[in-house]
Structure 1
């Protein structure tokens, strides 16, 4: 890892959220040999239709650790119950300590507007921790940071009360195979729980190769609407000529509650995006 390596901290609600939302971006950081740490704030214990408790928690721990290793990242799962997360002071202090200890250049997390209460809770926790990491009397056992990191929100398509603002547009077309491989590590989710939850479990192939092909289509179907919604912004960033070759993007919104992203720092954090 070079001396100029970035420190990327992902604070996600569940063990598969990082790969699901920003698997392409994390793959790029991994290829550039940056330092990536992924934290699941909950234990993932509610993410299955017929498996629960410690067995599921251990399975998801193994899946997430395996996925993280593919991009040179580390993974840690906290013990807060899945589906029951609330933005409490205790967890806020835990987030503050995590940010102070890891000292990230960039934090990636959920946006406050989301269908899942755990996602919204993590977004609120990170928002509330962002400035407080610089305040000495708060969680005083962990030294403060001289300045808070840049915080960027995962992409989503929700529109109320506000749609995602496309502050950073990352072309992940070339990373699609890696995204699929990362998600395939989370077999309990992409081949079992989510198909069950969406009523398509009977469509999941038994053959491993066919499963990957099926998952690739599922990922493409998930990401394609972002390319369509943000087509004009893609042209603004990459140019009309390059836009025609861009099939899939990951969009980030920069949090207004953390450090602002100036042009120079944007170039430092996202050198693979045209400025």
Structure 2
């Protein structure tokens, strides 16, 4: 049995894993654990002038550069248009594939009932709905073996929830704050 954890952060838009879970991801990576980021949309709406394939390519490049600062091993951006994320069976199956394929021990995602961006809420709903299938239902998405045990699921609030949010777990991120800030800084388009 390995002491290395597999951590996956699932958010809605490129830049959110860094903003909301960048410090914890850097801490895990520094400890030798494996970290992966997945965004469920392509970020195509996230600029005041750029759009389409040019913006999607730029945001993916920014995401890849940000990951290097944090020690993130893989950064997946799904081709779902920004603003159109829905909790469909197809997206749920892709999330199951991502979690199982990474053999996740810890999954970090948005709160499914948060007050923020609709894509963020839907990302949380999709992950919540996928959670029961990851380990307990091997015939769902049978092309990727189910996990032997369910991962730990941690929720992160988006900015709209910060006033009413009371964390259950607080981790000192002072030692990696520069890594997080550098990662966030890579997202110049934002």
The TM-score normalised by the length of structure 1 is 0.64
1:159-199 deviation digits (Å, cap 9, x = unpaired): 69xx444221111233322221111011101xxxxxxxxxx
Unaligned runs of 5+ in 1: 190-275
* Aligned equivalent of 1:123: 124
Query: Could you tell me which residue of structure 2 aligns to residue 107 of structure 1?
Result: 107
Q: How far apart are the structure 1 equivalents of 2:139 and 2:27?
A: 37
* CA deviation string 1:95-118 (max 9, x = no partner): 111111111110011112131010
2:79 counterpart residue number? 79
Say whether the 8 Å CA contact 1:158–1:164 is kept in structure 2: no
Q: Does 1:154 align with 2:156?
A: yes
Range 114-123 or range 170-179, more displaced: 170-179
Alignment partner, residue 202 of structure 1: none
1:23 equivalent in alignment to 2:22: yes
State which structure, 1 or 2, has the greater radius of gyration over its C-alpha atoms.
Answer: 1
8 Å CA contact 2:120, 2:158 repeated in 1:
no
Task: Name 1:7's counterpart in structure 2.
Answer: 6
Q: 1:158 to 1:126 in 2, by over 3 A?
A: same
Q: Tell which deviates more after alignment, 105-114 or 118-127.
A: 105-114
Q: Which residue of 2 aligns with 1:42?
A: 41
**Aligned partners of 1:157 and 1:164 also within 8 Å:** no
SS in structure 2 at match of 1:141? coil
**Contact 2:105-2:151 within 8 A present in 1 as well:** yes
1:96 aligns with 2:85: no
Find runs of 4+ consecutive structure 1 residues off by over 4 angstroms.
Answer: 156-160
- Report the alpha carbon displacement of residue 141 of structure 1 after superposing the two structures with TM: 2.2
Q: Post-superposition shift, 1:48? A: 0.4
More contact order relative to length (CA 8 Å, sep ≥ 6): 2
| Superposition RMSD in Å | 1.8
**3-state secondary structure, aligned to 1:109:** strand
TM-score normalised to structure 2 length: 0.91
Over residues 124-150 of structure 1, what are the superposed CA-to-partner deviations in whole Å (9 max), with x where a residue is unaligned? 000000011120221222221122100
- How far residue 157 of structure 1 moved from its aligned partner, in angstroms, is 6.0
Alpha-carbon distance, 1:8 to partner: 0.6
Q: Is the partner of 1:37 in helix, strand or coil?
A: strand
Q: How does 1:1-275 map to 2 (within 5 A)?
A: 3-73=2-72, 74-112=74-112, 113-133=114-134, 134-156=136-158, 163-189=164-190
The 1-side partners of 2:139 and 2:165 are apart by 34
Q: Which has the higher helix share?
A: 1
Q: Cα deviation per residue 1:223-271 (whole Å; 9 max; x = unaligned)? A: xxxxxxxxxxxxxxxxxxxxxxxxxxxxxxxxxxxxxxxxxxxxxxxxx
